[in-house]
Structure 1
């Protein structure tokens, strides 16, 4: 015979619809702790690419800078120039940044109405800096028509089609003198100083460009003119 349970005790019927309590530390099958989202590698890749491009740009800029500012010219030569070329001092040549004698561009020729002497210098490596400079001096002496020859040389320089020539007279140099400046669309610049003294016509040509930050730059015109005039003054004073 079944006995009733002790007083106060009785079995509660199971309640429907309520989940069983989950004990701490235990997980139901198929569940786990939340996983952190996977980090994208895109920012790292972009950073590497940008860094490589910046480095390449720096290297390219450095190469261009060093190339533009490389010491120009050739080793010092011992070329012998016509004796008249000695009227130009080493100091004047240094100011023009053309201390290297160029025998191939220098000569003395006898003409029917006088003598024509050509003197040429360019840069000495390790002495005359970067950029480019070339200087040439032409002396035509014994000219019966020196005034006509002077006008011819001036007109010839003004006909330079490499740029827009500009002319200005110069005072205190020979019997008459003028300067012709030719600036081109590039950095190349040339100045010619033409002087007549008696039956002699002297032409001094100084040309070139300077080294810029990454490429060639136009030289300072006042500096170029002063150097060319210095050479002309020395040549004319010793005629």
Structure 2
């Protein structure tokens, strides 16, 4: 009887059954790492964008003050001030002085928090009453506005407002913009200055010029009508 040679017992493989099933190749972790990094970058960018947006759209107004302004400042209505987006009276920026040639009154307003929106606006109305040289004063104020070095002043006449009326627009290299309307009616001269900028998506934008002009003209009309 023939016997197999001595040695460890070996069982022949079963047909159709490989002794060790093939192992799947190891998956690379690179896509997962890249995905995590991309997510972090997106969240970081979104966070920065959110901070910039909230910063530019923050309410720049202050709580409503009860400052008393000179009597002549009451010639303009709350509605006209709301159109200029400056309903907060600024007593520190307002004054009244008797001059040799009449009376000079300065009225100032800023933004009210929660009322006048984002961006920045400031309004100043200067009134020269009973000025013997009102014509010369009008020309002096217009020339002073045209000499503004913060930008390139542009002047245009305004019809239907007092005896003489001119608007001067100054746009700076930044978003800061100033609109001045100067009016003479008899021996009174009124200068209305509205300045500021609008909130853009991530920064400041220039205000709409037509909006500024309409607001400044409205204040000038009300002031002149009651002098």
Rg larger in structure: 1
User: More displaced, 155-164 or 36-45?
Assistant: 36-45
Unaligned runs of 5+ in 1: 1-10, 12-20
Secondary structure, in 3 states, of the residue corresponding to 1:105? coil
1:215 correspondence with 2:203: yes
Q: How does 1:112-151 map to 2 (within 5 A)?
A: 112-151=100-139
Residue number in structure 2 paired with 1:34: 22
1:22 and 1:156 mapped to 2: Cα distance?
109
2:75 and 2:18 mapped to 1: Cα distance?
107
What is the CA-CA distance between 1:22 and the residue it aligns to?
A: 4.8
Unaligned runs of 5+ in 2: 3-10
With the length of structure 2 as denominator, give the TM-score of the two structures. Answer: 0.91
Residue number in structure 1 paired with 2:186: 198
What is the CA-CA distance between 1:33 and the residue it aligns to?
A: 4.2
Across the aligned residues of Structure 1 and Structure 2, the Cα RMSD in angstroms comes to 1.6
1:129-152: CA deviations, max 9, x gaps?
111110000011222221111111
Residue number in structure 2 paired with 1:23: 13
1:48-87: CA deviations, max 9, x gaps?
0010000111111112112211222000000000000000
1:54 correspondence with 2:59: no
Residue number in structure 2 paired with 1:3: none
Residue number in structure 1 paired with 2:148: 160
Residue number in structure 2 paired with 1:237: 225
* Match 2:176 to one of 172, 188, 194: 188
What is the CA-CA distance between 1:35 and the residue it aligns to?
A: 2.8
2:165 and 2:207 mapped to 1: Cα distance?
23
Q: 1:132·1:209 contact (CA, 8 Å) conserved in 2?
A: yes
Secondary structure, in 3 states, of the residue corresponding to 1:104? coil
1:70 correspondence with 2:87: no
Instruction: Please identify runs of 4+ aligned residues in structure 1 that moved more than 4 A.
Output: none
What is the CA-CA distance between 1:26 and the residue it aligns to?
A: 7.6
What is the CA-CA distance between 1:233 and the residue it aligns to?
A: 0.1
2:101 and 2:164 mapped to 1: Cα distance?
21
2:18 and 2:114 mapped to 1: Cα distance?
84
With the length of structure 1 as denominator, give the TM-score of the two structures. Answer: 0.86
Residue number in structure 2 paired with 1:45: 33
Residue number in structure 2 paired with 1:225: 213
Q: How many residues align?
A: 216
Secondary structure, in 3 states, of the residue corresponding to 1:76? coil
